Amino acid sequence: MSNVRPTRPADVSQRTWLLVHPKGIVVRREGDAVAFPTDEDVAQLAIDVSGAHHLGRLEGSEVDAFAVACNADVELPAPLVVSNLRELFIPLGDAQFWLAGRAAQVVDWASTHRFCGRCATATERVENERCLRCPACGLLSYPRISPAIIVLVRRDDRVLLARNARSTYGFYSVLAGFSEIGESLEETIVREVREEVGVEVTNARYFGSQPWPFPHSLMIGFTADWRSGEIRVDGEEIAHADWFPADALPPIPPRLSIARSLIDAWVADIHATRAAAEVGK
Ligand SMILES: NC(=O)C1=CN([C@@H]2O[C@H](COP(=O)(O)OP(=O)(O)OC[C@H]3O[C@@H](n4cnc5c(N)ncnc54)[C@H](O)[C@@H]3O)[C@@H](O)[C@H]2O)C=CC1
Ligand SMILES: [Mg+2]
Ligand SMILES: [Zn+2]
């Protein structure tokens, strides 16, 4: 996805539409096939596309993607349906899923910054930049992105996994937390792990990152090592946590998340270390 600077809906040959509904994303669902609505689909819906946000051109195609909000009461003729964003990861595949995530974040930003946060004047779109400007006091509102660390903590050949008290999925995962004002990411890691499970960590190393459009997080992944302390969960956010060996893991998150990538990479590391030790015998 070339992240071209957004322009107004250009008179492009082909457009694909990301219709962001309060309950998810509108897609064409025909059997197992899922696709984004076409110009023809959108033309038959009574929605105003004048404020559409250009998301960029789909890799290697002449198709330009546009995001626009649609109301909860929009009538959707078959095969158009509303799908929860997370449920679209498998049917859409990576590139299209993250495009839908980008659409959800752009529409969330535009719908929550219609008025200036300083003087309540209606904001206006800035040409050629994803920004809303207040004509009265000049305040600029760019899309909100909330940095959140996510960290896999190791202790010898075990990993710290926790079950979130609020999660309905029931799986165990690595720890995560939003950065607070004035913190470095390394400080967030130490604070969040101390707050959530009561142990001290060291040796934080960058792993990778991932946009997380629920609604506007940016996940920054790290590994770290246990330094001291025994697990004592906070009981509010974390219901249970423990140290798990690679061959006896509890239920873990699906492939969509960087949490799963962190865990998979650690398991692969453990197996490679064991294999090397076998060879060395
Ligand atoms: N992609 C992945 O693998 C994973 C993503 N996540 C995401 O990471 C983010 C942080 O995870 P949590 O453990 O929930 O955060 P956290 O441990 O900082 O606690 C969440 C609390 O932070 C506060 N909060 C909510 N939105 C905030 C924001 N934008 N900035 C600052 N504070 C905020 C609220 O009080 C909320 O209860 C969430 O968006 C969560 O969905 C969490 C685990 C895995
Ligand atoms: Mg957390
Ligand atoms: Zn203002």
The reply, when asked if residue 21 is annotated as ligand binding, is no
Residues 123, 108 share a domain: no
The reply, when asked if residue 154 is annotated as ligand binding, is no
Residues 79, 13 share a domain: yes
What is the CB neighbour count within 10 angstroms for residue 262? 24
* Phi, psi for 113 (deg, rounded to 5): -135, 35
In a domain, 167, yes or no: yes
| Region at 45 (left for phi over 0; alpha for psi -120 to 50; beta for the rest) | beta
Report the chain's mean pLDDT, rounded to a whole number: 91
Domain assignment of residue 34, given as a range: 9-112
In a domain, 4, yes or no: no
Of all atoms in ligand 1, which is nearest to the CA of residue 164?
Answer: 13
Instruction: Go through 212-242 and write b for each residue having 16 or more CB atoms within 10 A of its CB, e for each that does not.
Output: bbeebbebbbbbbebeeeebebeeebbbebe
Domain tally, the chain: 3
The residue to which tokens 């950065």 are assigned: 179
pLDDT for the residue numbered 110: 96
Give the residue whose CA is nearest to atom 20 of ligand 1. 177
Name the pTM for this structure.
0.91
In a domain, 77, yes or no: yes
The residue whose CB lies within 8 Å of the most ligand 1 atoms, and thus the one to mutate among 178, 209, 214, is 178
Residues 85, 165 share a domain: no
CATH number for the domain including 89? 3.90.79.10
In a domain, 3, yes or no: no
In a domain, 224, yes or no: yes
Residues 135, 105 share a domain: no
Rounded distance from Cα 224 to ligand 1 centre (Å)? 19
Q: pLDDT grade, residue 209 (50/70/90)?
A: very high
| 143-167 pLDDT per residue, tens | 999 999 999 999 999 999 999 998 8
| 108-144 pLDDT per residue, tens | 999 999 999 999 999 999 998 999 999 999 999 999 9
Give the residue whose CA is nearest to atom 17 of ligand 1. 177
pLDDT for the residue numbered 11: 52
> 7-11: long-range contacts (C-beta < 8 A, 24 or more apart)?
7/54, 7/128, 8/54, 8/127, 9/49, 9/50, 9/52, 9/54, 9/66, 10/54, 10/64
In a domain, 249, yes or no: yes
| 212-236 pLDDT per residue, tens | 999 999 999 999 999 999 999 988 8
Residues 168, 107 share a domain: no
